[in-house]
Amino acid sequence: MTTIVVAADFGGPEVLSVREIDLPEPGPGQVRIAVRAAGVNPVDVKSYGGSRGTDPSRLPLPLGMEAAGVITAVGPGVERSIGEEVVVFRTSGAYASDLVTAADTALPKPAGLDWAAAGGLLLTGATAVHALTATNVSDGETVLVHGGAGGVGLMAIQLAALRGAQVVATASPAKHALLREFGAIPVAYGAGLLDRVREAAPQGIDAALDLIGTDEAMETSLALVSDPGRVATIANYGPLPKDGVKRLGGGPGADPGTELRNAARAELIDLAGTGRLRVLIDRTYPLAEAADAHRQIIDGHVTGKLVLIP
């Protein structure tokens, strides 16, 4: 039997249910994986929250788009090894003790990358790559990252630095030491943000990443970046002050960047496996406490990533 977590209805974390099921054998082009860690992401919460519709035919709704684990079976036509350690993205139903997924979603895991970090790496990492690529951040530039202490924010800070860019990042003052540790210049959000960013970056801001979706983040970005095409958001899908801002991700009218994000997976795994990219784990939860992990995301007090450990 396999333990899975599903949303039994639409609503809040109280609709999450832990179930035991018989997992089918992998079919052509598929592998079965014993999950060692599964990343928890805001999109998992949104999937059953109602903002994307409440079609009852989608229930029970499997959760989880990324994982890390060990291949335990392969389907016809798949040339993979039983026992191979892998990082999985993008999949469905990763909140589970075992998972059947397309073989091409499972990439080799470096031996030096621990399970929790591997399970929480690729969604945030690929999102950060997409945002930095869409805004063309390059060597010698300065980028403003709103929400620098979150999972995507910490990835964006590191990946921007690897491109040779300087980062100014917003967070609450309690997280400023962490941002400095990751190489960013921290500024507090709230009243006066525009002036604080100008003081932190007198050379100017070349590009901005809105990872939180507030009006303050968008207004500040557009005031500082001369070309709105070098402002990207993964969280603000409403009317924007200027045309040209890049909407990225799964929101209405956004560019999902599927090919770009998939292409980024191997490099992200290599960077993490060789220690050049750090996955900060805020907390791990057992599968049975997935609802508590979602409550923590909703409360907004996550630094880095949350991970489920079956």
Three-state DSSP class for 27?
coil
Give the position of tokens 């980062």: 167
pLDDT tens string 242-267: 678 999 998 888 999 999 999 999 99
Range list of H helices, 165-278: 176-181, 193-200, 215-224, 258-273
Judge contact between 67 and 94, C-beta under 8 A: yes
pLDDT in tens, 162-198: 999 999 999 999 999 999 999 999 999 999 999 999 9
- pLDDT, average across residues 21-32: 97
**pLDDT confidence tier of residue 240, bands split at 50, 70 and 90:** low
Q: For the chain, how many helices (H) and strands (E)?
A: 9, 16
Question: H or E element: which one contains 47?
Answer: helix 42-47
Which neighbouring-strand residues pair with 7? Answer: 16, 61
Residue 176 and residue 148: Cα distance in Å, rounded? 9
Indicate the DSSP class of residue 256.
Answer: -
3-state secondary structure of 265: helix
> Do the beta carbons of residue 269 and residue 109 sit within 8 Å?
yes
**Nearest of 81, 115, 104, 120 to residue 28 by alpha carbon:** 104
Mean pLDDT of the chain: 96
Q: Which residues of 87-98 are buried (b: 16+ CB within 10 A; e: fewer)?
A: bbbbbebbbbbb
Query: What is d(CA 290, CA 283) in angstroms, rounded to the nearest whole number?
Result: 12
CA distance 141 to 137: 7
53-67, 225-239, 281-295 — which one is most confidently predicted on average? 281-295
Structure confidence at residue 48 (pLDDT): 94
Going through 57-177 in order, the beta strands assigned E by DSSP cover 61-62, 67-74, 85-88, 98-102, 106-108, 142-146, 166-171
pTM: 0.96
Q: How many CA atoms within 13 Å lie on the side-chain side of 43?
A: 21
* Polymer length of the chain: 310
- What would the pLDDT profile of 270-293 be if each residue is shown by its tens digit? 999 999 999 999 999 999 999 999
